[in-house]
Structure 1
Amino acid sequence: MTAVTVNHGGPADTASVREPFGHEVLAVRGCESLTVANAPRSVLHDPAEPWSPTNCYMDVWIGLTATLGLDPLPMLGAAFSADFLGDQWEFLKPRQEDLETLYGLTVGEYDTWRPLAEHVQLVMSRGDALIVEVDAYHLPDTEGVSYGRAHTKTSIVPLRLDPVAGELVYLHNDGVHVLHGEDLDNALGTGVGSGRVPYPYVELVRLDGIRSLAPEALWQRAVEIARGHVRRAPDAGAGNSARPDPADRLVAAIREHVPVLAERGMEYFHQYSFATTRQAGLTSGLAAHACRYLSRGAQEWPSDVDAEQLIEAAEQFDAAAGAAKALQFKLARAASGRTPRIDSSAEAFVAGHTAGMRAVREALGLGE
């Protein structure tokens, strides 16, 4: 039991307890003393990264693993199997089985059949974590974008809760933040029903099996996970002309959609680019990080993995990530009524992503 009971001065203070979160200070295991100031930060959330923050779910896992003292880089093999789904690039998530194999963390959907605050209190009292969909309208860290302006769903992880102070330390996007008072009540308490996500999707992360493998053992598991994702991937880099690779299919769809952007304007552009160029760009950027991690292990430990080809793959994926950002800027020009030339950026994205996947296949011994 991780819950810590705090004496706030006896019966006279009873009225100050913020319902419905009870009166105990609660924390996810290992986060009992966590603050915004001392929270660890992954290299993946370096402000210099072109696509940081990534997407809300990937960011949760980057932040949670780092907070728990685990390395998030081994789980990035999922980037190799991402696909274009016809109207959007796949929303990148680490696979549940990968998280269990690497870290001993078990993840699954959690049924919120009672008030959400009661579930938060119960789960945190065991030291486990919840990934909760909330309304970003009530998250101060989205100031200037959603906070007090726009209702949109996003995922957070409550890490440390002080109900009497009305304060929650939580993970969101690329950092650790604090939620207070009415915002806390509206995000997770009695005000939840009035938001964008009155019945939130919630996942339970159980920490009872958490483990920190030795670096070589962790790398070896990451290699096998990466191979699994490459085998699962669409035809990118495989040289199969029967079906265009996902980068080609994305660019073809974007070309067809440029007139729609010009017609519907900037608000539509933000939604469209989030689902297409942003997801493709961040996936490419994380694939580059995965390649560099795998390459470092191949240089340090004996294996059949080609470290130099992985460096080449990382450079190609970095180029694809940059090209996706350039393409996104040009689509914004289209949405603002101009006539941009997108061919160079589009072709650079296809070339980088396809070459990156080909190099990964060869480096991991999966080439044709």
Structure 2
Amino acid sequence: MTSRLIDISPDGYEPHPIHADERTWTETNCYLDLWVEVLHSLGLDPVPAAACAFGARFDGSQWTFLKFKPEDLFALYGIDVGEMNVWRGVLDHVEDNLAVGMLSTVEVDAHWLPDTAGTGYRESHTKTTIVANFVDRESGVLEYFHNSGYHRLTGDDFRGLFGLDLAGSATFTPYVEQVRFDGEPEYRPGRFDAVLRHHLATRPDGNPVRALGERVVADVPWIRGAGIDTFHLWTFGVLRQCGATAELAADVCEYLERNGFAGAAAFAPGFREVAQGAKSVQFQMARAARGRSVDPSAQLDGMAEAWERSVDGVARVVGRA
């Protein structure tokens, strides 16, 4: 049995406010969400790492699958994240990492994760990422970060997740990262300015929300014919990622205001307009997937204008500081 690296319990766990019920987007994607909760559980504010939101883009078919950058995690918190060579059973590596004070991010099959009940648990097979914090192999218990919370699984779920002689369990070699701590993890505010300026400097030349809007409008006839199941797959990579990114950008604006960048908070409402607009357009596209006629172009145009106004405004504020 390996002791908990972070001393927390699934019982009564309180997620970070980024995952509060009143948010427009209560979850972003599995990888970013779990890092929000890992940092939160270490007593660290994850919002500075969300500066990467300013550099998000649209590649013609999907929005950036936003992740906290490894270089930002190291600069801001002294947390070193890197791929490891998986040459034994994944459970062996997870145990060994915990034993020497490292966490592990692990790609797994959500089929075995009870926190996905109602959205695929024991019904479908989809790839997702967890961070293991406690393992008891003998009792078949795992405690892990996933999405917006901290959870526990046992029994057949434990054996299935790690491919331990259970029919239908994983047989692929997953992507695993080691999470090393450079001493006691702590926020390093002196590094934030460079991280922020990097993501603003490397933001796309054009307006990514306008490019997204053009594709969404073009996809309306296709979505009408593809149906609701395809719509759910499509919208996750397009509208959900765009909306969640914009809401995180609003959080960063407010963080900037509290930390010496006067005027930055004025641009948070614009980013939240994008987040709320993406949710509204998602509802419209769901109606299209059920065969109805929709035209979200006006709302998408408003989102594009709000994004450009907001990100350019933040850049001006930061440039003056």
Regarding TM over 0.5, the answer is yes
Matched, 1:258 2:216: no
Report the identity percentage.
Answer: 36
> Of 14, 24, 27, which aligns to 2:4?
27
Q: Does 1:42 align with 2:16?
A: yes
Cα 1:191–1:72 shift into 2, 3 Å? farther
What is the aligned counterpart of 1:57 among 24, 31, 41? 31
State the partner residue of 2:292.
338
Query: In the alignment, which of 200, 205, 223 is matched to residue 230 of structure 1?
Result: 200
Instruction: Provide Cα deviations, 1:69-119, integer angstroms capped at 9, x if missing partner.
Output: 111111010000011011100100111111001110001111111011111
- 1:361 maps to what in 2? 315
Alpha-carbon deviations, 1:182-229, whole Å to 9, x = none?
Answer: 10111124258944672111111112434314xxx51x4223211110
Match among 276, 295, 298 for residue 322 of structure 1? 276
Query: What is the total number of aligned residue pairs between the two structures?
Result: 321
Q: TM-score scaled to structure 1, two decimals?
A: 0.83
Corresponding residue SS for 2:178: strand
Match of 2:60 in 1: 86
Question: Partner amino acid for 2:226?
Answer: R
Alignment of 1:344-355 (within 5 A): 344-355=298-309
Question: For residues 128 and 2 of structure 2, what CA distance do their matches in structure 1 show?
Answer: 25
2: CA distance between counterparts of 1:45 and 1:145? 18
Whole-Å Cα distance in 1 between the matches of residues 220 and 167 of structure 2?
A: 38
Contact 1:134/1:197 (<8 A) preserved = no
Correspondence for 2:93: 119
Q: Which amino acid aligns with 1:222?
A: F
1:176 aligns with 2:150: yes
Q: Distance between the aligned counterparts of 1:345 and 1:209, measured in 2?
A: 48
Distance 1:197 1:255, change over 3 A: farther
Q: Assess, with a 3 A threshold, how the Cα gap between structure 1 residues 81 and 150 changes in structure 2: closer, same or farther.
A: same
Q: Compute the displacement of 1:25 (Å).
A: 3.2
Q: Which of 225, 230, 250 in structure 2 is aligned with 1:288?
A: 250
Q: Which runs of 5+ in 2 are unaligned?
A: none
Letter of the 2:193 counterpart? V
Deviates most, 38-47 or 270-279:
38-47
**Counterparts of 1:123-134 in structure 2 under 5 Å?**
123-134=97-108
**Matched residue of 2:211: which SS?**
helix
Q: CA RMSD in A?
A: 1.8
Could you tell which deviates more after superposition, 155-164 or 101-110?
155-164
Counterpart of 1:223, as a letter, is: D
Alpha-carbon distance between aligned partners in 2 of 1:75 and 1:188, rounded to the nearest angstrom: 31
Distance in 1, Cα, partners of 2:271 & 2:316? 15
> Once the two structures are superposed, what CA deviation does each residue of 1:110-155 show, in whole Å capped at 9, x if it has no partner?
1111011111111111121011011011111101111011110001
Structure 2: which amino acid aligns with 1:320?
Answer: V
2:259 partner SS: helix
Alpha carbons of 1:338 and 1:75: their partners in 2 closer, same or farther (altered >3 Å)? same
The letter of the residue matching 1:248 is R
For residues 293-351 of structure 1, what are the alpha-carbon distances to aligned partners after superposition, in whole Å with 9 as ceiling and x for unaligned? 111111xxxxxx3x22x112111101100001101111111111000121232122212
AA in 2 matched with 1:336: R
Please identify, of 224-233 and 188-197, the stretch whose mean Cα deviation from structure 2 is larger: 188-197
* Deviations 1:254-297 (CA, angstroms, capped at 9, x unpaired): 11111110111101100110010001000001111111111111
The 2-side partners of 1:85 and 1:25 are apart by 43
Residue identity opposite 1:181 in structure 2: G
Q: Which moved more, 1:57-66 or 1:337-346?
A: 337-346
Name the counterpart of 1:301: none
Q: What is the rounded CA distance, in whole Å, between the counterparts of 2:27 and 2:125 in structure 1?
A: 19
The offset of 1:46, in angstroms, is 1.0
Aligned to 1:270: 232
- Give the equivalent residue in structure 1 for 2:78: 104
Aligned equivalents of 1:192 and 1:120: distance in 2?
Answer: 19
Distance 1:233 1:125, change over 3 A: same
Q: 1:75 to 1:186 in 2, by over 3 A?
A: same
Residues 1:193 and 1:361: Cα distance change in structure 2 (over 3 Å) = farther
Distance 1:193 1:346, change over 3 A: farther
1:12 equivalent in structure 2: none
Q: Distance in 2 between matches of 1:354 and 1:57?
A: 27
Higher mean alpha-carbon deviation, 163-172 vs 249-258, is at 163-172
List runs of 5+ in structure 1 lacking aligned partners.
1-23, 236-243, 299-304
Residue identity matched to 1:135: D
